[in-house]
Structure 1
Amino acid sequence: MLPSGLRMRQRAEFTLAVRRGRRAGRPNIVTHLLRRDEIDAEPLAGFIVARTVGNAVVRNKVRRRLRHLVADRVARLPRGSLLVVRANPKAASAGHDDLAADLDSALDRLLRDQSPGRGGGVRTDKGRT
């Protein structure tokens, strides 16, 4: 289980990660990762499981599965980063292996995109970075 100290709890952190972080969408989940190199702290992870996923029992089950999966992968995250995992409605019927594969794929993309030397610059009005 993901330790309590690594869970994102403040709305401002969720908003910051979703608005400014990099996004990777998969069939069962959408992940947002905001790398904050200037902050030397443990990475934080938050979860969004909306009513469209299912009733309260289903949502809590999906949230528990996602927390368990992220706990095994939190060491991969850069220090100070914020990770938000949003469950899509398909996550309710997805198996453990499907959720794990989607999470691994999304994290691989986000961590690759944010590695030193990659793009990530600010877009200009001409579409160039």
Structure 2
Amino acid sequence: MLAAAQRLRRRDEFTTAVRGGRRAGRGAVVVHLTLPASPDLDQPASAAPSARAGFVVSKAVGGAVVRNQVKRRLRHLSRERLAALPAGSTLVVRALPQAADRSYQRLGVDLDKAIAAARGV
């Protein structure tokens, strides 16, 4: 489970991340990643906002049970990867219909590849 400070909840937060971030799709996921402009050296590291994530799983993925299962998997996978992103980053993960049939490990590989592509690594 993600902490409340690490979750995107409002529509404008999602819109800002999707429109202003880099997009990369790999396998069954598409990620929109917004990196902070530059680190503020005057601000202590503890005051810097943590990386945040949000998830979009449409009805095209499946029924409510399948959508929630995919969302839980992506949430858990993202929690592990948020620590590697710079503080202040925003990550939106959109599940494609193929995500319903992917295993947990394969979703993790797709997510890793998509994040690496969005970061330009």
Shorter-chain TM-score range = 0.7 to 0.9
Please identify, of 78-87 and 34-43, the stretch whose mean Cα deviation from structure 2 is larger.
34-43
Q: Does 1:53 align with 2:88?
A: no
The CA deviation string for residues 47-102 of structure 1, in whole angstroms up to 9 with x for no partner, is: 00000000000000000000000011111111111100000000001001110000
Matched with 1:22 is: 22
Return the TM-score normalized by structure 1: 0.82
Work out the CA distance in 1 between the residues paired with 2:80 and 2:89: 16
Q: CA deviation at 1:38?
A: 5.5
Structure whose alpha-carbon radius of gyration is higher: 1
* Residue identity matched to 2:36: R
Q: Is the 1:45–1:84 Cα contact (8 Å) retained in structure 2?
A: yes
Matches within 5 A, 1:34-113: 34-37=34-37, 40-112=48-120
Structure having greater relative contact order (Cα 8 Å, sep ≥ 6): 2
Gaps in structure 1 of 5+ consecutive residues: 114-129
* Residue identity matched to 1:30: V
* Residue identity matched to 1:100: G
SS of 1:31's partner is strand
Please identify, of 37-46 and 69-78, the stretch whose mean Cα deviation from structure 2 is larger.
37-46
* Residue identity matched to 1:36: P
Paired residue total: 113
* Residue identity matched to 1:56: A
